[in-house]
């Protein structure tokens, strides 16, 4: 398969809700090519009328790296069709084997068009909230290499955001957890995300500008899960809670 064929293979797997063989089982490609495949598959979504609304980082916490066996930071693209509303009831048959994870989310105030330092972040970001990300690897058994998961747009499929709030110090050492039917199933600290979730914006600014991309005002950034992800089942209420920033939930059908 060439890069466009791989992009179509992964896009179709998502559309048909069918798990597929890892691409790297049959085709070798570099990390740079994996990001090209990611762009090509996003282009197919844009051709169907979707719009880019932000970016996500992955494997920014040790808990996630250990769970998935991938130890490098990755980034992917979020589109409007992935944006679910709080309290939405979602039939999980639209996904292959969805998992949920608690996230810290940011909203961009001013275009980020160059690598920025952590001290500069407050000039570019003005809002923060708690998020829930739903990830759904297109690969069988949710197993992949670094190149596979990047090509698959970092397992992105859905996200829900709490109410935006002004940035308040501190950002680190805030308790964060994931609850299913009001039971805490995963808990951690915002410091688990690169020691400080603001660092994820620094990393994104570096990666985006190296790719010639501007992260635009109004766009959303998911900093990466602070805890491992949990498989979803039908008829669950799924909640993420972040100290000082409230909570957000959705339900499965």
* Chosen residue from 98, 162, 188, 224 binding ligand OOG by CB under 6 A: 224
* Chosen residue from 34, 42, 70, 225 binding Mg ion by CB under 5 A: 225
Whole-number minimum distance, CB 131 to ligand OOG, in Å? 10
Q: Does 200 bind ligand OOG (CB under 6 A)?
A: no
Cβ-closest position to ligand OOG = 58
Among the residue ranges 10-18, 19-27, 57-65, 175-183, the one whose residues contact ligand OOG (CB under 6 A): 57-65
Whole-number minimum distance, CB 146 to Mg ion, in Å? 15
* Chosen residue from 7, 116, 149, 242 binding ligand OOG by CB under 6 A: 149
Instruction: Give a three-class secondary structure readout of the chain.
Output: CCHHHHHHHHHHHHHHCCCECCHHHCCCCCHHHHHHHHHHHHHHHHHCCCCEEEEEEECCCHHHHHHHCCCCCEEEEEEHHHEECCCCEECHHHCCCCEEEEEEEEEECCCECCCCCHHHHHHHEEEEEEEEEEECCCEHHHCCCHHHHHHCHHHEEEEEECCCEECCCCCCCCEEEEEECCEEEEEEEHHHCCCCCHHHHHHHHHHHHHCCCCECCCCEEEEEECCCCEECCCCCEEEEEECCCEEEEEEEC
* Chosen residue from 36, 129, 137, 239 binding ligand OOG by CB under 6 A: 137
Q: Which residues form the interface with ligand OOG (CB under 6 A)?
A: 56, 58-59, 64, 68, 101, 133, 135, 137, 149, 154-155, 224-225
């Amino acid at each position: 398969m060439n890069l466009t064929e791989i992009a179509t293979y992964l896009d179709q797997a998502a559309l048909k809700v069918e798990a597929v063989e890892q691409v790297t089982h049959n085709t070798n490609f570099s990390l740079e090519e994996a990001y090209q495949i990611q762009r090509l598959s996003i282009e197919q979504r844009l051709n169907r009328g979707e719009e880019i609304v932000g970016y996500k980082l992955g494997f920014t916490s040790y808990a996630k790296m250990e769970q998935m066996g991938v130890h490098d930071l990755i980034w992917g693209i979020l589109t409007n069709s992935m944006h679910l509303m709080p309290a939405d009831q979602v039939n999980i048959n639209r996904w292959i084997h969805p998992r949920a994870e608690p996230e810290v989310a940011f909203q961009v105030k001013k275009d980020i068009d160059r690598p920025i330092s952590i001290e500069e972040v407050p000039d570019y970001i003005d809002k923060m909230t708690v998020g829930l990300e739903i990830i759904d690897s297109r690969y069988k058994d949710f197993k992949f290499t670094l190149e596979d998961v990047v090509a698959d747009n970092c397992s992105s499929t859905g996200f829900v955001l709490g109410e935006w709030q002004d940035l308040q110090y501190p950002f680190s050492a805030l308790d964060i957890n994931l609850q299913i039917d009001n039971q805490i199933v995963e808990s951690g600290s915002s410091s688990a995300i690169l020691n400080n979730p603001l660092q994820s914006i620094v990393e994104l600014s570096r990666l985006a500008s190296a790719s010639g991309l501007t992260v635009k005002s109004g766009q959303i950034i998911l900093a990466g899960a602070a805890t491992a992800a949990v498989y979803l089942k039908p008829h669950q209420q799924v909640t993420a809670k972040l100290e000082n920033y409230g909570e957000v939930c959705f339900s499965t059908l």
